[in-house]
Amino acid sequence: MAKFFLRKKIGDRVVNGHPWIFANELGDSDGTAEPGDIVEVYSYNGSFIGKGYINPASQIRIRLVTREKNEEVNDEFFYNRILEAWEYRKQIGYVENCRLIFGEADGLPALVIDKFNDHLVVQTLALGMDRWKTAIVAALQKIFNPKGIYERNDVPVRELEGLPQQKGFLSAPFDTNIVINENGLKFHVDIENGQKTGYFLDQQDNRRAIQHIVKGADVLGAFTYTGTFEIHAAHYGAKSVLGLDISENAVAQANKNAALNGLENIVKFEAMNAFDVLKQWGKEGRKWDVVMLDPPAFTKSRENIQKAITGYKEINLRGMKLIKPGGFLVTSSCTNLVPPELFLQIIEMAAKDARRKIRQVTWQTQSSDHPILWHVPNTQYLKFLIVQVM
């Protein structure tokens, strides 16, 4: 097995537990390795750091998968890691729908597996992980005996690893339009064509957090996607709910979800550009008791971080202007490039410009089936905030 040595003057990030090693952090090497091979990593003075897979074509040159020198990375290794992750989810109460594998947080960098009851969706986002896909599928079959496994590798990040975008069945074919249960409600999930892996599991705990503030309220939701927050609001006793999304397909799916739960008389969805209509309705003086904003990541690169800050501030400013005094703003950010402290500063700036005072009600992150490692900052990405707007 090839050996790679860290440079002497790099920081302690890798030694302290971060699994990513960038090209400029590597010095000498001993032996040769093909892209995707498992290699050993040592400090500059020869002490063992860990084993991981290498890709010279990637900015992240090596991703570590174990810190144990005697642990062999083989089919059994992946079976054990996936089983450990499943045992953890069961311990914290996620037995039906959950993020089964959350990459680095579960010791399997660049692997994402979502469990939708008896169906599993897999993403292998780096070359070294992609090479173990057969072992991963075999482990899933052995542990879960699922109704189906589907690959959603139709994501641009794979191209940075020299991998093609692709999607398809990793098991016998099955109907990829399924229905799941969440918080006493039912939702359609389009595994094949839905965003990401078909459904956003990371907000499932946060959707429960709105139950008290929406009772008897007129609720407006923007960037609704398939309407999960809005349908929860109706279920929790809202008087009326209007959900907006720019996608006609998302709106159609959201209306199907409302009908699936018998809530179509309370919640309506319309295809609109939220930025435009919220600004217009603000000028018209329209008001709601609760405004919910769940926008997509406004940037995926550090170069465009200012654009994201501007976008988050603008949409929250417009949302606050539509809230009756004493009403509530429910707002999120899903990009890890905007850290929690910065997101709170953005909301504060929006409140100042809207000339509204705010009072924090709830401040949360992603659901705990997406675990956070403190020494791996990118494992914490979702910010979820409820404030009262005075």
Residue 116's alpha-carbon distances to 97, 171, 351, in angstroms, are 5, 15, 38
Residue 107 sits at the vertex; the CA angle it makes with 106 and 113, to the nearest 5 degrees, is: 50
**Degrees, nearest 5: CA angle 40-41-44:** 140
SS3 19: coil
d(C-alpha 185, C-alpha 93), whole Å: 17
Length of the chain: 390
Catalytic residue status for 98? no
| Gap between the Cα atoms of 288 and 193, Å rounded | 33
Q: Is the dihedral of CA 153, 156, 157, 162 positive or negative?
A: positive
Query: Is residue 179 within a helix (H) or strand (E), and if so which, with residue range?
Result: strand 177-182
Beta carbons of 58 and 160 less than 8 angstroms apart: yes
Looking at 21, 100, 290, 334, which residue is catalytic?
334
β partners of residue 258? none
How far apart CA 63 and CA 104 sit, in angstroms, is: 9
**Amino acid found at 27:** G
Helix H or strand E encompassing 282:
helix 274-284
Residue where the block lists tokens 């390795």:
33
Helical (H) or strand (E) element with 276:
helix 274-284
Q: Pick the closest to residue 333 from 265, 380, 384 (CA basis).
A: 384
- Chain-centroid distance, C-alpha 243: 21
Among candidate residues 354, 304, 297, the one with its CA nearest the CA of residue 327: 354
Residues catalogued as catalytic: 334
